[in-house]
Structure 1
Amino acid sequence: MSNKSSSVFFSFSRKLTAVILIFLLISLSALVIVWYSGTLSDLDGEFINRQNLTDQILKQSIIWIDRGISLYELQYVPSLKEAMEMYQDAYKKTGENVTKLDLYALKKEVDAELNGDFDFYLVDKEGQVLKSTFKDDISLDFKIWPKFFAIVTKIRESGEFVPDRMVKGYSKTAPFRKFSYQGTSDGNYLLEISRNVERLLPLATNASYRELLNNLPAANKDIQTIELYNSQYKIVSKYPFKGPDEQPSAEILSWVIRSFAEHANFEVKNPETGEIIRYTHLPISDADSPSASEMSLVARTVFSTEERDREKLKATLIFCAFFIFMIIVAVGAALAGSRYLSRPIDQIVEDIQCIADGDLDHKIRPTGSSEFNNIELAINSLVANLKEMIVSLKNREEALLEELGRRWRAEENYKRLFESAHDAIFIIKDTRIEGCNNAATRLIGRDLKDIIGKELHEFSPPMQPDGKDSAVASRDIIGRVASGELSVIKWDFIKSDGKILNTEAHCSSVLSDDIILVMFIFRDVTELLEMKRRESTAISQIDENLVKLAAINDQIRNPLSSIAVLNELQGGEYEDRIFEQIGVIDDLINEVDRSFVKTYKVRLFLMKHYGIHHTGTEENEQNNK
């Protein structure tokens, strides 16, 4: 029977340990997995934020660089305007007959007079170049650029002189040219002039794009390469610079063309390397230039994922290490719990003897048999409760006596101070302090010069105990005292060290020289209020202890009766010794009953002679009786 019960007990303990272990593993695993997922999500978020920041820097920087180029090009506008006037004069001299217009002679004259290299173009209403000193552009049809054709058509019809931006031009052999346009007076033709330069000026422009691209990797360590493409899908600048002969692949050009066509940004992932490739459309808004739509750029940026992946790997390793450590700790805790639950408890008689000898700290050791399990738990519980109750009663009785002594001494001191008229007195004129005594200065801990002329609420916390604002409450009280409506108040002060001071005051008003003065006589009741709260708490605690003690007596006697019956039924060589120890415990319980009666009499004495009342119910008092 014993072995069977023992095996059942051990099986239960192991199952309980397994359940606790599984619960701990699931809970801790969930927390670690949430942390791990959050870490990976943060790393991805930071990676995307760095890419977005790079795009923002590119867009803003390109706009600033273009503004600088635009300002630089303004130096060519006066010469283009003079050339256009000469062009208009030449057109009018032909009687508006374009067949008689000699553009080469005009070019020679303008180049000599304006000291530059100019080309002239004559465009009809259909947007086709009829004549030009730059042969590659003859027969060029502007309608292949619908937006541009619509703009120059308006210029032709309005007759307004409009300078354009400096561009390379349609022809591959063309130099950099700054164009200007103006319609003829009859509106039939568009006169176009270009001033030719060897390179896009200023010389620092290319360096500006290159410097921008060279500095971006310092701001984003994920950048591998950056390329800038113009509207003709040619590379303007790139990082790192590997030479001018390197050409983009067809796939790259297709994404660049799509970005220009849709004015949109695209993101592509390289399946082999895992790199992220972004195609970012960089618009340049220049509403005054006909070629503004062709000035935009597209940036192709390649971002490496190696740094992000290294951080993810690091987080994964930390997660795995922590998870393994968590498993080891959980298994260790489960094994320790299993060993603890399987300890033998066959020394119960010896343990009872140790307790009977006065060693209340001694615990009943488990025997491993479920037959004595209830006895073990009952005795351990009643001994622990008995010990705790005895210690608690002694400590609380000592604390109560000490508190009562402090209360009596404090009340005596308070009476002597009050009878010697050392109360704090404040004289108020209007709402400000007109005068006060030394007790008042000591009360709020400030010098006389710091008090005179101030208001009461300036030495008070923001709010009074009744929840009113101190400034509003002080003025209201002064008005009510002056009218005779109020004679006693409660008021809180705040001392110079920040301590809150509870006071009571007797109030009265005095008429002096047709001026109503209000007098407050304050006394400090902070300690008195605190003592009353502690007294009430102490009496309530005594009532609670009495109820608990009565319950414990019943809880102890009932298990003792069960033990006596079980011992008589089982018999054995320890029967007499167990009966002997039961008698000893019964004597201890009787001693507790006598202490209960004494404590209850002390409580009645305090309530009768000191006027101390508790907050408990009358039902509890009847139960204690």
Structure 2
Amino acid sequence: MTATGGSGRKVRRFGTCLMLVMILITVPTIGLISALDFWQVEQGLIADENLLREQTEKSIVQAITLVDAGLNLFDSTLDQRMEEGFIPFLAEYERAGRDPAAMDLSRVREELGGEMDIYIINTSGVIEYTTYPPDLGLDFAEIPYFYDRIMELRLGNIFSADRVLTEPASGKLRKYAYMPSPDHRYLFELGLDCTATGVDRYDPQYRTLKEDLMRLNPALEGIRIYDCFGRIINVTDSEGPNDPAVINPIAREIFETKQDRTLTDAAAGTTTRYILVDLSDPGYASDVSRIVELTYNTTPLNTRLAEMRLGHVVLAVFASLVACCIAFPVSRRITRPVREIADDVNRIAAGDLDHQIRISTGTEFTRLEEGIGAMVAALRENIRRLRASEEVAREYSAHLEELVRERTAELEMSNRAATLFLDIMIHDINNANTIAIGYTQLLVDALEGEQREMARKMLSRLEQSSETIGGVATLRRARESRTALTQMDLDRVIQAQAANFPAVLIHYEGHPVAVLADDLLPEVFANLLGNAEKFGGPDVEITIRVEEHGEEVEVSVEDTGPGIPDTMKATLFSRFGKGECRLAGAGAGLGLYICRMLIERYGGKIWVDDRVLGEPGRGAAIRFTLRKAGTDH
């Protein structure tokens, strides 16, 4: 399936590459189509499941609302009876001297036919006296909205009937009504047991509703209905007795927040929906709203989706295998002309230029074969011309090599002659300058007046000439030196150079620090200190500072001379750069150029600043950096 190329690396055959491309296109396409189909089916099943859930939830909300509407109609038929029941209640309160403890509540209950329980609620919202022991001590302050309502009734002067409510424990229906005591110290309450009043036909048949909904939605696993306190109501016989003290915190929270909630238990395979059926009525103290808990079993849907997913995966794998089997023969048939052309080209490449390219079907392959044939013919002609010109090229190459050798020898001789002349000039002119400087110094000391001034100018020019020769010598050494940078003691170099200027006040407080440089480093300080002495004036002071910054050392040479104007700073270190002002008469200007060349060779940089920032006339500061010894760059 592979061949070795001219570079030695293995190259796949075109047929293999084509087959792989076909597989890489077909297999992902099949997978994508299968995934999209599964996604559509999955979304459809989930949408159907959600629609069935919505219908189930709408049905139970409508059923509970209709049941409550029927029960509300029954409520109004009992209002007059409840209001008449307060006549003996109030009479007994007056007979007892408005002392509830002295009241005979059992006698009043018997007088009311034994169907109504009596409750006396104090100012704290607690049932202080009652003929119904389970509710004795019940604190309505724990139910803020209800507490606020009954406190309003206690302070009022009217009879108020409440809704028929379902007892959580027994499932019995009770009708409640309220009347404030004449002194407003208590709120009287009557509770009618509706069992004997023919209310069975109004009893909310939640059990039947559960059975109907579970038949409508097979995924519905259970239904529970809670009151506004989070207590379950109307339980079935199969669920056993219900403890009214048991509160479902989720149902209670749903009632308080007035927002439905969905809880999912992936481990159990269930989804639980809590739905608030708002039946509140501002005309009644009690809120008969219901919270419905619907538990759906998601296992059947998940199982069906898993089966469909597996089916799609199996189908996609089978289709991919079929595509791979088809790709092999198709790729071989498509690449057959290419293989034939490749075989023919290999024979031509082996040296058989007379071999003919086989003609295949297809316009493109025919044009390719004709093009290869024309290329082979042109190649034969080029080979003939190349062989004819090889001899000419060989002769020219030999002549060129000889010419290069001659030019190289001439350049070497010219370089040696230039070096010799430069050495002679530096040596002889420097000796002549030294002698001339000595005699001129004698003339300066011996002459007076105008002649002495002329002798001093001559001495200055001779010293400038000597400095120029010294700069040229240093520049030559710097350019020809191939010495590697080594570790040098910067402190020792500075102290040695400062000692060469005894007439100048030099401030330096340094410490040993090793830098990378060579034996030309002293020339930098010699040039900088010499310039500061020469152009700084008779009372110039020089300060040398050395500061360490990480892997670099920054050196500053500051003087109190006339400074350097801003217009000159940019070109100060250029070759033959001269200045006005303090640099007037500075000769060829090689000193600072040499400093820049050496500092850059050492891997640093050099620049000029004002000694006092923003005040060029108060002195100059030449600063440069050096690398510390031992750092890698």
Whichever of the two has the greater Rg, that structure is: 2
How does the TM-score come out when normalised to structure 1?
0.49
